[in-house]
């Protein structure tokens, strides 16, 4: 079972799982170790084809198809290997961007001699002044280094496996409708639904019967891509404004970040002594501010990536030639043909 804790997590997990399987099948990675002997990729694929996938709701449906597209339709690099490889590459890409955007650059010092002004005497730095350590992201591999030259653009890891030209046959999918009512204006409908659960039980039983019977049919993009389309009406309106909300949050955060960074550098260099409030609650160091910014940027970028896939009115991703690889559980379908 894949549980999405945030929007976009199902897409990422599925894509990385597929890419990991591709690397194992190509002999570039060893099978995952477990309490039982590892299963051969061909045997595992055959076993999965005898099963099925239950997709709950339209949002999950969109994320599932996007995960298939990224998993098979994008080239795969080896990285450190394992299922965490995708996480490593994502962290590296974000770290490169953040390292070169100048937010943590030291302010330029004006040369007072060139302007004709007398250079003031500089007080010697205190012997106990803390040395500011260069930022080291703990999530990056130990062999990965970032250069300080802002003009340096490191080349991405070379692709080990090219993108697949076609989608391999997938386990049949069961499309289970789901409507999540969120918001104060929908409380009356929530109450009504609480006291009228018989239809939900009937709907769930009918779909469970489809699984037991095992009858499937080919995926029809002309009709199946519209699965759950009517449920988008009930999605929270805040989701439509996510891009603007994210832009506002970023602006507010970076305004405060500048103040916190100035305080951290003043205290680290010994330029001033900490106040009583700062002694009681020490402000974050520059290292901690860098890590906090990294985590926030990672979360914001993931939110926008998911919003681009899930936003209301956007059709699920579809590629030509997928029809023969996908099948759907249906009472009018055929049995024993998967």
Tens of pLDDT, residue by residue over 298-334, are 999 999 999 999 999 999 999 988 988 999 999 877 7
Distance from C-alpha of 2 to C-alpha of 6, rounded to nearest angstrom: 12
Distance from C-alpha of 298 to C-alpha of 244, rounded to nearest angstrom: 17
Residue 203 lies in a domain: yes
Whether the pLDDT of residue 166 is over 50: the answer is yes
- 96-100, 179-183, 323-327: least confidently modelled range: 179-183
- Taking only the tens place, the pLDDT of each residue in 143-160 is 444 444 433 344 455 668
Tell whether 241 and 201 lie within a shared domain: no
Burial state string for 147-163 with b = 16 or more CB within 10 A and e = fewer than 16? eeeeeeeeeeeeebbee
Decide: 67 and 18 in contact? Cβ < 8 Å.
yes
- 34-43, 58-67, 312-321: least confidently modelled range: 34-43
- Of the candidates 215, 226, 295, 221, the residue with the CA atom closest to the CA atom of residue 257: 295
Decide: 329 and 52 in contact? Cβ < 8 Å.
yes
Look up the domain containing 66 and give its range: 9-76+161-234+318-329
Tell whether 230 and 245 lie within a shared domain: no
SS3 assignment for 151-179: CCCCCCCCCCECCCCCCCCCCCEEEECCC
pLDDT value of position 201: 84
Tell whether 201 and 265 lie within a shared domain: no
The four Cα atoms 211, 217, 221, 227 give a dihedral, to 10 degrees, of -30
- Taking only the tens place, the pLDDT of each residue in 16-26 is 999 989 998 88
Residue 207 lies in a domain: yes
pLDDT band at 197 (very low <50, low <70, confident <90, very high): confident
pLDDT value of position 102: 87
Give the number of other CB atoms < 10 A from CB of residue 56. Answer: 14
Residue 334 lies in a domain: no
Decide: 64 and 55 in contact? Cβ < 8 Å.
yes
- Taking only the tens place, the pLDDT of each residue in 255-301 is 999 999 999 999 999 999 999 999 999 999 999 999 999 999 999 99
- Taking only the tens place, the pLDDT of each residue in 64-91 is 999 999 999 998 887 644 455 567 778 8
pLDDT value of position 147: 43
- Of the candidates 59, 75, 82, 69, the residue with the CA atom closest to the CA atom of residue 9: 59
Q: How many domains does the chain have?
A: 2
Decide: 4 and 60 in contact? Cβ < 8 Å.
yes
Tell whether 224 and 244 lie within a shared domain: no
CA distances from 174 to 7, 22, 217, 257, 333 (A): 21, 24, 11, 47, 12
Tell whether 34 and 51 lie within a shared domain: yes
- The token pair at 327 is 């099948």
> Of residues 141 and 101, which shows the higher confidence score?
101
Residue 101 lies in a domain: no
Whether the pLDDT of residue 112 is over 90: the answer is no
Alpha carbon distance, N-terminus to C-terminus of the chain: 21
Tell whether 244 and 222 lie within a shared domain: no
> Of residues 188 and 263, which shows the higher confidence score?
263
Tell whether 173 and 302 lie within a shared domain: no
Residue 94 lies in a domain: no
State pTM to two decimals.
Answer: 0.76
């Amino acid at each position: 079972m894949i549980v999405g804790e945030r929007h976009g997590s199902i897409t990422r997990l599925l894509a990385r799982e597929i890419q990991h399987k591709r690397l194992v099948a190509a002999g570039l990675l060893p099978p995952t170790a477990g309490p039982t002997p590892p299963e051969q990729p061909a045997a595992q694929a055959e076993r999965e084809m005898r099963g099925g996938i239950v997709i709950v709701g339209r949002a999950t449906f969109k994320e599932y198809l996007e995960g298939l597209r990224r998993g098979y339709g994008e080239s795969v690099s080896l990285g450190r290997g394992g299922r965490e490889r995708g996480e490593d590459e994502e962290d590296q890409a974000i770290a490169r961007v953040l390292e070169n955007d100048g937010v943590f650059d030291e302010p330029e010092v004006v040369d007072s001699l060139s302007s004709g002004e007398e250079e003031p005497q500089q007080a010697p730095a205190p012997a106990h002044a803390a040395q500011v350590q260069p930022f080291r992201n703990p999530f990056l591999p130990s062999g990965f280094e970032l250069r300080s030259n802002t003009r340096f653009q490191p080349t991405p890891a070379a692709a080990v496996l090219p993108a697949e030209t076609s989608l391999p046959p997938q386990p049949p999918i069961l499309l289970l409708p789901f409507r999540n009512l969120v918001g104060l204006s929908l409380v009356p409908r929530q109450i009504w639904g609480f006291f009228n659960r018989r239809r939900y039980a009937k709907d769930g039983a009918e779909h469970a019967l489809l699984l037991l019977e095992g009858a499937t049919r080919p995926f029809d993009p002309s009709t199946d891509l519209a699965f759950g389309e009517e449920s988008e009406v009930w999605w929270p309106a805040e989701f439509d404004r996510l891009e603007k909300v994210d832009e506002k949050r970023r602006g507010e955060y970076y305004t405060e970040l500048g103040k916190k960074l100035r305080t951290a550098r003043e205290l680290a260099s010994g330029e001033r002594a900490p106040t009583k409030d700062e002694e009681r609650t020490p402000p974050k160091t520059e290292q901690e501010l860098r890590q906090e910014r990294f985590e926030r940027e990672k979360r914001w970028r993931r939110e926008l990536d998911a919003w681009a896939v899930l936003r209301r009115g956007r059709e699920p991703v579809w590629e030509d030639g997928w029809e023969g690889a996908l099948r759907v559980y249906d009472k009018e379908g055929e049995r024993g043909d998967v």
